[in-house]
Every structure is written in C-alpha cells, then in structure tokens.
C-alpha cells in the first residue's frame, strides 16, 4: 500500500531546508504512521536529494508528522539548479512510499 492511501502531505521550504508534513486522513491511523514512517525511511526515500539529516516531529493532536530535511534543496531555493527549486513536489513523491497493508484502515474521511 502506498502512503497516499492513508495520508496527505505538504512541502514547505526555507533556504536549503525542506519540511514535509504528513497528515493522516483518519487521526486513528496516526499511531500506525508513527510506527512505520520513520525519519530513517524518509531519508532513504530521498537518498538522492537530501544530503543532510532528517528530523521528525510528532503532532498527535493533528494526527500529523513533520519531517525536516536539511541540505535538501540543491543549496537553497534561490540558487538551486533544480526544475522544482522549492521542492514543492517532494510531498507527492513521499506519498509514493510503500507502507505495510493496514487491515484496520478505515475509508478516507
């Protein structure tokens, strides 16, 4: 199952740092996401893009995780050679990640 089935996401940018929020459609899936969507997995998913560390922050009240990826935007939005210098599309790329099938998944809200 792709992460997209359980969560939506948004990328933000500041300098050379990109953050991706991952938000469970159903807050009941938050614990499942917290278990499977680790900083290490996100780092591996973006191995060819992110050159620095990946930090994860938890927002259980929102059913969300926030990943902060350092040295992730080709030297910074204002000097990156990337077609998508802001990394706006990275959130969608993250939703491609395979996660275990969750039998308890409810339909999307």
Partner 1 sequence: MTATWAAARSDGKVTMRTIRIGSGAGYAGDRIEPALELAEKGDIQYLGFECLAERTIALAQQARLADPDGGYDPLLTARMEMVLPTCVQRRIRIITNMGAANPVGAAAEVARVARRLGLHGLKIAAVSGDDVLQTLQGGDYSLMERPGTVAGLGDRVVSANAYLGVAPIVEALRGGADIVITGRVADPALFLAPLVHEFGWDLADWDTLGKGTIVGHLLECAGQITGGYFADPGYKDVRDLARLGFPLAEVAADGSAIITKVAGSGGEVSLRSCKEQLLYELHDPTKYLQPDVVADFSSVRLEPDGADRVAVRGGTGTARPDTLKVSVGYRDGYMGEGQISYAGPGALARARLALDIVQERLKLTGVRADELRFDLIGVDALHRGPQGDVPEPPEVRIRVAGRTDTLAEAVRIGNEVETLYTNGPAGGGASKSAREVVAVVSTLIPRTAVTPTVQYSVA
Q: Do residues 102 and 29 touch, judged by C-beta distance below 8 A?
A: yes
Of the residues 3, 13, 41, 72, which one makes contact with partner 1 according to CB under 8 A: 13
Binding of residue 51 to partner 1 (CB under 8 A)? no
- Burial class from Cβ neighbours inside 10 Å (0-12, 13-18, 19+) for residue 75 reads middle
Distance CA(91)–CA(89), nearest Å, equals 6
Ranges of beta strands (E only) in 15-90 are 17-24, 54-59, 64-69
Q: Which of residues 59-98 bind partner 1 (CB under 8 A)?
A: 59, 61-64, 66, 68, 76-79, 81-84, 88-90, 92-93, 96
User: In whole angstroms, how close is the CB of 34 to partner 1 at the nearest point?
Assistant: 15
φ/ψ of residue 53, rounded to 5: -80, 160
Stretch that binds partner 1, among 28-36, 38-46, 99-107 (CB under 8 A): 38-46
> For binding to partner 1 (CB under 8 A), which residues are involved?
4, 8-10, 12-17, 19, 21, 23, 25, 44-49, 55, 57, 59, 61-64, 66, 68, 76-79, 81-84, 88-90, 92-93, 96, 108-109
């Amino acid at each position: 199952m792709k992460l997209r089935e359980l969560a939506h996401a948004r990328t933000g940018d500041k300098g050379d740092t990109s953050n991706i929020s991952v938000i469970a459609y159903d807050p009941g899936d938050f614990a499942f996401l917290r278990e499977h969507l680790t900083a290490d997995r996100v780092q591996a998913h973006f191995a060819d893009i992110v050159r620095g560390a990946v930090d994860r922050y938890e927002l259980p009240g929102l059913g969300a995780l926030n990943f902060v990826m350092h040295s992730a935007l080709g030297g910074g939005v204002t000097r990156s050679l990337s077609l998508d210098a802001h990394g706006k599309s990275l959130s969608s790329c993250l939703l491609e990640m395979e996660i275990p099938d969750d039998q308890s998944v409810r339909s999307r809200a």
